[in-house]
Structure formats: C-alpha cells, structure tokens
Structure 1
C-alpha cells in the first residue's frame, strides 16, 4: 500500500509524463514545417503493428483440446475484424469483440 507521500509522488510523475507527451511534439516541431519522414512513417505503421501484437498476445494461450478453449476467441476475433471493416471505429470493434467474448464464455461455452 502506498503512503500519502508516495501516492502524491506517483500522481505527480504521471502528470508530468502525460504533459510532456502532449507538449513535446509542439516544442520539437515548428508549426510551419512538416514532421520528419521517420515520424510520419512510424505514425502510419505503428498502430496496425500494435493491434497485431495485441491479437497475438490475446491468442497465445489458445487451447484446441475443447471447443470452449478456442471457439469463443476465434468468433470474437472475427467479430472484431468484421466490425472494424464495417464501421472503421476502433472503440466499437474492441468493445463489441470484448462483450461478445464475455457473453460466449459465460453463457454459451460455460
């Protein structure tokens, strides 16, 4: 358990880091010039790469020994892909897949 001073210090560090991540792009790049090509490239390729890594992490413990070990996950992944291709909304895709997975695990494959 954190002490009061420890909690205040942790909140202060989080606030400074959050502020710096928001302010640094404005301090590093002039408003008139475009960002470096590397920054533009990373902005284009990192989001899909991170989503792919999250999918692999979520499916790493997939067990094919029983239907309840793999069917809910694959149905939910398919739903996430379908929702994203249909609406192009990350939050809708993530929440829709998560809700579907929880319903499948707790009711259908219980």
Structure 2
C-alpha cells in the first residue's frame, strides 16, 4: 500500500469513529429517545453479564479437579462487587482481574 492509501484509510476510520460518537447527540438531543433505546439502555448490561457467565462456564467439566472452583469463585466475586458497588464496569473488570489472578497463581 502506498502512503496515500494508508492516510485515506486512517481518515475514513477517523470520520466513521467520530460519526458513531456524535450520532446519539444529533438525533436524540431535542426529544426523548424512543422506547426501544430506553429498553436497550436498561437491559443491555445485565444481558452482557449473563453472556459472560455462560461463556465462562460453557467448557467447564465439573467432574474433574478443580471442579470449576476458579470460575465459580470468579463469578461470586463479580456478583459481590456488583451488589456492593452497583457498577457494571467495575464488576466486570474486577471479576476478570480476580479470575485471571486465580488462573495464574493457583
């Protein structure tokens, strides 16, 4: 690829990225957002949490040592963080860091 093509690709990516950031402010600034947007805003984080839990447990064989202990403990820590702090981002990152520490050191 030539330098011009690389710069054009970067420009296109920057414009698209900017548009995706500005889009909600352009269309929803003057009025209340549609009901489906409010629904997504309300229920999307718990759905993501459930997807992460299912993904974590899908390949675990609970008949073989350590019987899914690390994964279940990571889920419990994530649930505890969320119930005590009520912040999805902190819960997800805190639980992931805890789980990765378990995987590396146990």
TM-score norm. by structure 2 comes to 0.77
Long gaps (5+) in structure 2 = none
Please tell me whether residue 106 in structure 1 is matched to residue 104 in structure 2.
yes
Please tell me whether residue 17 in structure 1 is matched to residue 16 in structure 2.
yes
Select 2:51's aligned residue among 46, 50, 53.
53
| Cα RMSD, aligned residues only | 2.5
> Could you list the runs of 4 or more consecutive aligned residues of structure 1 that deviate by over 3 angstroms after TM superposition?
2-14
CA distance in 2 between partners of 1:102 and 1:68 (Å):
15
Partner of 1:76: 74
Aligned length: 106
The structure-2 alpha-carbon separation of the partners of 1:12 and 1:92, relative to structure 1 and needing over 3 Å to count, comes to same
Q: Deviations over 1:51-72 (max 9, x none)?
A: 2112212221112232335110
CA distance in 2 between partners of 1:6 and 1:84 (Å):
46
CA contact (8 A) 2:45 2:88 kept: no
Secondary structure of 1:35's partner? coil
